[in-house]
Amino acid sequence: MKRSGFMAVLALVLLVRCAPAENDTERVMEKFSVSSPSSVNTVHFGLNDGQPHYRVTRFGQEVIGWSALGLELKDLPDLVNGFEVDAHETFPVRETWEQVWGQSRYVDNHCDVLKVFLREKEALGRQLILEFRAFDDGVAFRYEYPEQPGLETFRIMDELTEFRLTGDHESWYIDAYQWNRYEYYYQNSPVSQADTVHTPFTMRTADDLYLSFHQAALIDYSTMTMERTGDFTFKANLVPWAEGDRVRVSETRVTPWRTILMSDFPGDLITSKMILNLNEPNKIEDTSWIKPGKYVGIWWGMHLDKYTWHPGDKLGATTERAKRYIDFAAEHGFDHVLVEGWNPGWDEAWYESGVVFDFTRPVEEFDLEEVAAYAREKGTRLMGHHETSASVLHYEAQVPEAFQLLEDLEVRALKTGYVGHGTEIVRYGEDGEELHEWHHGQFMVNHHLDVIKKAAEHKIMLNVHEGVMSTGLRRTYPNMMTSEVAKGQEYNAWGEAGGNPPEHTLLIPFLRNLAGPFDYTPGVVDLYFEEYRPDNRIKSTLAKELALYVTIYSPLHMAADLVENYDDHPEAFRFIRDVSVDWEETRVLHASIGNYLTVARKDRHSEDWYLGSITNENGRVLKASLGFLDPGRTYVAEIYRDGRDAGWEEAPYEFVREEVTVTSDMALPLRLASGGGQAIRFRPAE
């Protein structure tokens, strides 16, 4: 054979050996399966030449084809193949637990569990445990590696978890490994056009089955992104340490759960409790200080450039202005007043490095103790603010003293920030060299959990911006109230697109909110910013801005506008003042990803219900059945809706408030203008 011909054949052989073997999955020998309580979803387990695989079916139809599992290790044989089943067990979980706060008061945790105990047939004889849980609204699985000879401590170089989809599903996602973390607009494409993406990663199949991939109980591990490795195949891609390894295993002997929500109705993704159920129960004994609430703050003015964070003629954080906001909060029943720019460092190059910040003393223009005491006297509280600019080691050194200061001032809520780009988070290696970490690797995952625990010791609720994506830890640590980790309201003030597009808030509930509460900071009623930001605006109607309090879930919601702007919109402000943030139950009445959404929620502390309905750039008419109301009872519906000529482009302020009497056997028409919405409070008539 000529050399050229030999090389061509050799190249072909190597290509075949190295390429993903799509047909290898046909050799998987199924061993066990477990189905959800109503036999909706089933997880199947099998081995292929000793490598574990799983498969997911729904009513017998394949949703995830046979997909490989395994872990590649550093300086140790991999936990990938050569396994045999040592034992297995199945058991049901049937419990109902009460949330400290949430979208619903009580949560049913109903699933069936399969645990498979694997052992290497040769070599070291190491054990690996795989646990699968089947719920009626999804499935989940995780790895467990018990401490044993040869696995006391080790490093994971790659997690081989696959997700073999059955087709080129429509999908919505944000690309991973980008400089601005999660703060991008969602993309919508077939999965074959995605690359490496953040989760939640939401899809719709050709048969109108809705899927969303994420993770639960992210503790002492790296964030999972999803990397496309074939036309419709993805694998786990773990955010690495600076040295290149993915996870460092010592005390924690389980991975986070890999979760797949499944529903025929996209609204059921929103009300799923599966991710919460996969987290450990509450570890905070006294939760009496943990209370959902609403807040105002010296914040929006900085984004408009009316005020500044740094000292000078336009400094926002002055004692006088803080007291004015406190007076407003006390008059209208707001629970907290956020003040940003209160501490030294903002006049330095803080955006490049947060080592300039001091979290234990205020600037001269702001009397911290006086303001905190004034708030308490008025029946509200100061909300703390710690912007770290991702200088984590600098922040950690101050946390003990800074948190004690907040406790001494009886501050109950703290907003933290980690503004920064890419891998500029600095830590130091064993040789003292400066290393740079991603925002979402194991180093930062552990940092955020440490802060949550320390905050709980000082009775502080957290609102984390630029953090890691939520994974249900609010069940275990209910002081972890809400977070950002997406494009919020501030992009309306200065974003490159001139403001968030109308569909943005129609995507958040089906993506970002599936992970957990989102501090979007709604409630801006001055929709144009001609004086300060003439090239930007809010691309919604006034009625839609009110409805966001119901459609975007957060237990800490802000009335984000300059407080003086509410004087010009008293009827709209009435809904912002009245709406609850803590719920007995939640129902989704209409849902279409990126198009429209209607959510009804019952207040946990009264007999009132609230409804929010929003649409994208297209106006539409929906009909809301009121079957969620108590039968035989009459309610007054306080309706805040788009006016006859309303539309986000030309007439966003066209707005009507009216009252009608309703009962549970009625249906209300919801006329939503372009970029519009409707908000309703239902209160018992008697």
Helix (H) or strand (E) holding 448: helix 442-457
In whole angstroms, give the CA distance from residue 255 to residue 269. Answer: 23
At residue 352, the pLDDT reads: 81
Q: What is the pLDDT of residue 578?
A: 98
Q: pLDDT category, 9, cuts 50, 70, 90?
A: very low
Q: What is the pLDDT of residues 480-494, one digit of tens each?
A: 999 999 999 999 999
* Cβ atoms of residues 386 and 352 within 8 Å: no
Q: What is the mean pLDDT of residues 386-393?
A: 95
Close Cβ partners of 24 (under 8 Å, ≥ 6 residues apart): 48
pTM beyond 0.85: yes
Distance in angstroms (rounded) separating the CA atoms of residues 231 and 229: 7
Taking only the tens place, the pLDDT of each residue in 63-120 is 999 999 999 999 999 999 999 999 999 999 999 999 999 999 999 999 999 999 999 9
Phi first, then psi: give them for residue 579, nearest 5 degrees: -60, 140
Query: Catalytic residue positions?
Result: 490
Evaluate if residue 16 carries a pLDDT over 80: no
Range of lowest pLDDT (346-350, 606-610, 623-627):
346-350
pLDDT value, residue 592: 98
| 8 A C-beta contact, residue 652 and residue 542 | yes
For residues 101 and 289, give the distance between their C-alpha atoms in angstroms, rounded to a whole number. Answer: 12
According to CATH, where is 3.20.20.70 located in the chain?
A: 499-554+564-686
Q: Is 178 helix (H, G, I), strand (E, B) or coil?
A: coil
Output the CATH code of domain 28-277.
2.70.98.10
C-alpha 583/C-alpha 555 separation (Å) is 9
Question: Would you say 367 and 379 are in contact if contact means Cβ atoms under 8 Å apart?
Answer: no
Record the tokens describing residue 4, joined without a space.
């050229």
pLDDT level of residue 8 (50, 70, 90 thresholds): very low
Contacting residues for 495 by C-beta, under 8 A, at least 6 apart = 487, 536
pLDDT > 90? residue 413:
yes
Q: What is the mean pLDDT of the chain?
A: 95
Whether the Cβ atoms of residue 372 and residue 407 lie closer than 8 Å to each other: no
pLDDT of residue 21 exceeding 70: no
pLDDT in tens, 533-551: 999 999 999 999 999 999 9
pLDDT digits (tens, 9 = 90+) for 426-437: 899 888 899 999
Q: Give the dihedral sign, CA 568/295/519/670.
A: negative
Cα atoms in the 13 Å half-sphere on the side-chain side of 149: 3
Q: Residue 454, by phi and psi: left (phi above 0), alpha (psi -120 to 50) or beta?
A: alpha
Q: Are the beta carbons of 464 and 448 closer than 8 angstroms?
A: yes
Q: Where are the domain boundaries for CATH 2.70.98.10 in the chain?
A: 28-277
Confidence of residue 7 (pLDDT cuts 50, 70, 90): very low
Residue 2 predicted with pLDDT over 70? no
- Phi then psi dihedrals of residue 463, to 5 deg: -130, 100
Distance CA 161, CA 259 (A): 12
Q: Is 543 left (phi over 0), alpha (psi -120 to 50) or beta?
A: alpha
Q: Which CATH superfamily is domain 499-554+564-686 in?
A: Aldolase class I (3.20.20.70)
Lowest mean pLDDT segment, chosen from 23-37, 234-248, 287-301, 580-594: 23-37
Q: Name which of 651, 671, 669 is nearest 660 in CA terms.
A: 669
Q: Report which residue type is found at 280.
A: E
The sheet carrying 170-173 orders its strands as 83-98, 106-120, 127-135, 138-144, 257-263, 210-216, 201-204, 170-173, 187-190
The Cα 276–Cα 269 span in angstroms is: 13
Angle between helices 570-578 and 542-551 (to 10 degrees): 0
pLDDT at 78: 97
- φ, ψ for residue 506 (rounded to 5)? -95, -5
CA distances from 595 to 142, 398, 509, 528 (A): 34, 45, 11, 24
Instruction: Please give the structure tokens belonging to residue 294.
Output: 């609403």
